[in-house]
Amino acid sequence: MVKQEIIVRQSQRAIQYALDFLFPPHCAACQKSGDILCPSCLAAIRPLAPPLCPQCGKAIPTYSIYGSCQNCATHPLHMSGLRTVSIYQEPLRTCIHALKYEGNTRLAEPLGLLLAKAYQAYGIRADVIVPVPLHSERQRQRGYNQTSLLAEVCARQVGIPLNNHMLVRHRATSAQVGLAAQERQQNVAGAFLCTPAFATGRLSGRTILIIDDVCTTGATIEACALPLFAAGAHAVWGLVLARPHA
């Protein structure tokens, strides 16, 4: 099945290259003709500048007395660490929105490559990459899981296996937008499960990397990490495209 999916993906890419030659794409951010994300807009998506919190990866003041952000000093993450590509601002914000809500799935390629670049820059070492899953009903409505598309590109680029079946969102949740931090935690609490094939000790000693598009408080990724730890994972890291300004 996996081999068939790879062949289908390769065929789709070949067809898309041919179509691009005939009908050049437009940048999702600035609408300039030639690329789905033009070099100028891509260059405008800048990595987070240090110093960064060693736990959640947020930018912290150079004079911080905690050695981490104030939130992690008082409420440490329930996972090994969280890292971010960039701030949730233009042009990245428009690109994520177009990928997630407008069906522009081709943006998964350049954005996934940004995740791969960040993975290497942060020195993360994982055994397998897992995307944050959508509930089955939401995925049927959207037609795809944008996080899975991003994770596929990232995994291919860094040479790490991707597993789309390790985690499931067994309970539908409300959108996190507009919820306070505690409400976000309550909203996703217990929403994710490790599938039976991996809940029997197969993750013992393994390091898992969870991929998501946007992170605000980290509640969703932490909710994903808990069943992985329960299944024996040694470490669970999160890597996301964007997070809001602190």
**129-159 per-residue burial string, b: 16 or more CB within 10 A, e: under 16:** bbbbbbbeeeeeeeeebbbbbbbbbbbbbbe
DSSP H or E segment with residue 136: helix 136-142
220, exposed or middle or buried, with CB in 10 Å at 0-12, 13-18, 19+? buried
Cis peptide before 131 (omega within 30 of 0): no
Distance CA 34, CA 20 (A): 8
For the domain made up of 48-243, the CATH class stated in words is alpha beta
Contact yes or no for 80/235 (Cβ under 8 A): yes
Model pLDDT, residue 13: 59
Model pLDDT, residue 34: 87
Distance CA 227, CA 169 (A): 11
Using alpha carbons only, what angle is made at residue 163 by residues 161 and 224, rounded to the nearest 5 degrees?
120
Query: pLDDT by residue for the chain (246 residues), tens digit each?
Result: 445 655 655 665 555 554 555 457 899 999 999 899 999 999 999 999 888 999 999 888 766 666 788 888 888 888 999 999 999 999 999 999 999 999 999 999 999 999 999 999 999 999 999 999 998 888 888 999 999 999 999 999 999 999 999 999 877 665 666 556 665 666 666 678 899 989 877 899 999 999 999 998 888 999 999 999 999 999 999 999 999 976
Model pLDDT, residue 218: 86
Model pLDDT, residue 201: 79
The closest of 174, 47, 151, 137 to 99, measured between CA atoms, is 151
Query: What's the token pair of residue 10?
Result: 């390769």
Model pLDDT, residue 221: 94
Model pLDDT, residue 1: 41
Model pLDDT, residue 111: 98
Distance CA 190, CA 123 (A): 30
Contact yes or no for 238/118 (Cβ under 8 A): no
Q: Where are the domains of the chain?
A: 1-44, 48-243
Model pLDDT, residue 5: 54
The closest of 91, 29, 57, 96 to 217, measured between CA atoms, is 57
Contact yes or no for 244/86 (Cβ under 8 A): no
